[in-house]
Amino acid sequence: MTHINQNFLKLPGGYLFPEISRRVKAFSAQNPPMPLIKLGIGDVTLPLAPAVVEAMAKATEEMGRRETFRGYCEETGCAYDFLRFAIQGSYRDCGVEIADDEIFVSDGAKSDCGNIGDIFSVDNVVAVCDPVYPVYVDTNAMAGRAGDFDGEKWTDLVYLPCTAENGFFPALPQGKVPDLIYICSPNNPTGTAATKEQLKTWVDYANAHGSIILYDSAYEAFITEPGIPHSIYEVEGAGTCAIEFRSFSKTAGFTGTRCAYTVVPKALEREGVSLNALWSRRQGTKFNGVSYVVQRAAEAVFTPEGRAQTRENIAYYLNNARVIKSGLEQAGLTVYGGVNAPYIWARTPEGVGSWDFFDTLLHKACVVTTPGAGFGPAGEGYIRLTAFGGAEATEEAVERIVKLL
Ligand SMILES: *Cc1c(COP(=O)(O)O)cnc(C)c1O
């Protein structure tokens, strides 16, 4: 008889977004007094930049001609030279030198964050921030690294609380030393971005203990404040302890187009083995790359026109973030994030739980948010709003909330 991976049965079953969707559906069925405005889910809404669409169309046309047709991408890291050079150039802009064979192009940072576990033993101790992007937790649970879910937490994970008191950046753990440490900056869900000094404490810790930092910088393009690092490799010593994940999803509206990249430095070794070589072996075996058309689209993000156009889109979202932040502050709420990220992390009113506040905003303002508790126990007492909506709808949503509170 076939045995299934029992670890899957331990998963609490994609609780957060299905539960939100259930509540929204139930409320919609009662004929809400106003149209619903959704500031809940983290997906972009603006179309692809014209430079990107043009590059895709041209590449599509090339695929339709025998002389320019392409089959499997045989390049290192599944990255065509043109895209690799563009990525290297963007790293150079923040003073970071990445070698040719340290870049691996993929269909998403979500898959890479999940798949990276393949190259690490199931015995490693995993640390995650609390609140956290659920992918890090669930993929480790599937692999058998998380233990059992006790209704609130996984028994074998090290939770690093990120609270207003620590500026939503985790303190070094006191007890068990984690081997794999997930850090996401700018952060989903809290919308805060780590400083170089903050990252340095973890880089030094990881180097001292032989741990690996899995650094998710999917929102790097939203950084507006000077001095905030765009890459963990801006921090001295990160080359021997960190893997970095980046994506075109939020930076250039590729959530439906699919392209990302992961940097695995060649200086990264554990037990005398190159992690770059292991990841290369893993990808070469289980992955056949991102389409030529999409890699051309991604390349176009780095051209002067592409940069200007995608920057405009990001400015549009960041303006929404400002509107949400200042509106909620005006309504008397304590608000974090929204400056270097498209997420606003708002404290619920005194004594109101995050699901209750979610329900109040849904029923009284017809605005859909995300309850912070869904991202982990330390998210209780917060809600997350996203800046990915339309400008008018966002303003309307904020006005309704201000009026309500
Ligand atoms: C959206 C998001 C990503 C991007 O995932 P893709 O698979 O590249 O679309 C990665 N990390 C976080 C934290 C995200 O919110």
Can you give the CATH number for the domain in which 400 is found?
A: 3.90.1150.10
In a domain, 48, yes or no: no
Claim to verify: residue 210 and residue 247 sit in the same structural domain: yes
Claim to verify: residue 201 and residue 57 sit in the same structural domain: yes
Position in ligand 1 atom list of the atom nearest CA 248:
8
pLDDT of residue 17: 87
Q: How far is CA 256 from CA 18, 63, 253, 260, in A?
A: 20, 20, 8, 12
What is the residue with the minimal CA distance to atom 14 of ligand 1? 218
In a domain, 47, yes or no: no
Claim to verify: residue 100 and residue 224 sit in the same structural domain: yes
Starting from the edge strand earliest in sequence, which strands make up the sheet with 103-106, in order? Answer: 103-106, 260-263, 242-247, 212-216, 180-184, 126-130, 158-161
CA-wise closest residue to 215 among 365, 281, 235: 235
pLDDT in tens, 224-270: 999 999 999 999 999 999 999 999 999 999 999 999 999 999 999 99
Residues making up the binding site for pyridoxal 5'-phosphate: 72, 109-110, 133, 188, 219, 247-249, 258, 288
Claim to verify: residue 156 and residue 216 sit in the same structural domain: yes
Q: Is the pLDDT of residue 15 over 80?
A: no
Claim to verify: residue 328 and residue 385 sit in the same structural domain: yes
In a domain, 61, yes or no: yes
What is the residue with the minimal CA distance to atom 11 of ligand 1? 218
Q: Which SS3 state, helix, strand or coil, does residue 198 take? A: helix
pLDDT in tens, 58-84: 999 999 999 999 999 988 888 999 999
In a domain, 8, yes or no: no
Residue ending a domain, choose from 302, 317, 352: 302
Can you give the CATH number for the domain in which 156 is found?
A: 3.40.640.10
Q: Is the pLDDT of residue 125 over 80?
A: yes
In a domain, 2, yes or no: no
Q: Which SS3 state, helix, strand or coil, does residue 388 take? A: coil
| Domains: count for the chain | 2
Position in ligand 1 atom list of the atom nearest CA 188:
13
pLDDT of residue 315: 98
Average pLDDT over residues 114-137: 97
Q: What is the distance in A from the centroid of ligand 1 to the CA of 169? A: 19
Where b means 16+ CB within 10 Å and e means fewer, 36-54 reads bbbbbebebbbebbebbeb
Claim to verify: residue 270 and residue 242 sit in the same structural domain: yes
Q: The tokens of 380 are what? A: 């209780």
Claim to verify: residue 239 and residue 370 sit in the same structural domain: no
Q: Which SS3 state, helix, strand or coil, does residue 73 take? A: coil
Claim to verify: residue 256 and residue 107 sit in the same structural domain: yes
In a domain, 106, yes or no: yes
Claim to verify: residue 277 and residue 324 sit in the same structural domain: no
Q: Pick from 247, 261, 384 the residue to mutate for probing ligand 1's pocket: most ligand atoms within 8 Å of its CB.
A: 247
pLDDT of residue 225: 97
Claim to verify: residue 260 and residue 351 sit in the same structural domain: no
Claim to verify: residue 214 and residue 151 sit in the same structural domain: yes
CA-wise closest residue to 270 among 280, 261, 260, 278: 278
Cβ 108 under 6 angstroms from ligand 1: yes
Residues making up the binding site for substrate: 15, 42, 110, 133, 188, 288, 384
CA-wise closest residue to 333 among 240, 267, 242, 402: 402
Average pLDDT over residues 189-193: 98
What is the residue with the minimal CA distance to atom 12 of ligand 1? 218
Residue ending a domain, choose from 302, 332, 361: 302
What is the residue with the minimal CA distance to atom 4 of ligand 1? 109
Average pLDDT, the chain: 96
Q: Is the pLDDT of residue 213 over 90?
A: yes
Claim to verify: residue 327 and residue 293 sit in the same structural domain: no
pLDDT of residue 41: 80
Q: Pick from 129, 133, 183, 343 the residue to mutate for probing ligand 1's pocket: most ligand atoms within 8 Å of its CB.
A: 133
Cβ 109 under 6 angstroms from ligand 1: yes
pLDDT of residue 260: 98
Q: What is the distance in A from the centroid of ligand 1 to the CA of 247? A: 7
In a domain, 132, yes or no: yes
Grade residue 137 by pLDDT with cuts at 50, 70 and 90. Answer: very high
pLDDT of residue 13: 73
Phi, psi for 337 (deg, rounded to 5): 80, -165
pLDDT of residue 228: 97
Position in ligand 1 atom list of the atom nearest CA 133:
13
Q: What is the distance in A from the centroid of ligand 1 to the CA of 125? A: 23
* Residue 176, domain extent: 53-302
Q: What is the distance in A from the centroid of ligand 1 to the CA of 218? A: 6
pLDDT in tens, 38-51: 999 889 999 999 99
Average pLDDT over residues 89-111: 96
Q: What is the distance in A from the centroid of ligand 1 to the CA of 110? A: 5
Q: Which SS3 state, helix, strand or coil, does residue 194 take? A: coil
Q: Is the pLDDT of residue 14 over 80?
A: no
Average pLDDT over residues 311-320: 98
pLDDT of residue 74: 87
Q: Is the pLDDT of residue 294 over 80?
A: yes
Average pLDDT over residues 193-213: 98
Residue ending a domain, choose from 283, 302, 321: 302
In a domain, 1, yes or no: no
Q: What is the distance in A from the centroid of ligand 1 to the CA of 402? A: 30
pLDDT of residue 233: 98
Q: What is the distance in A from the centroid of ligand 1 to the CA of 272? A: 31
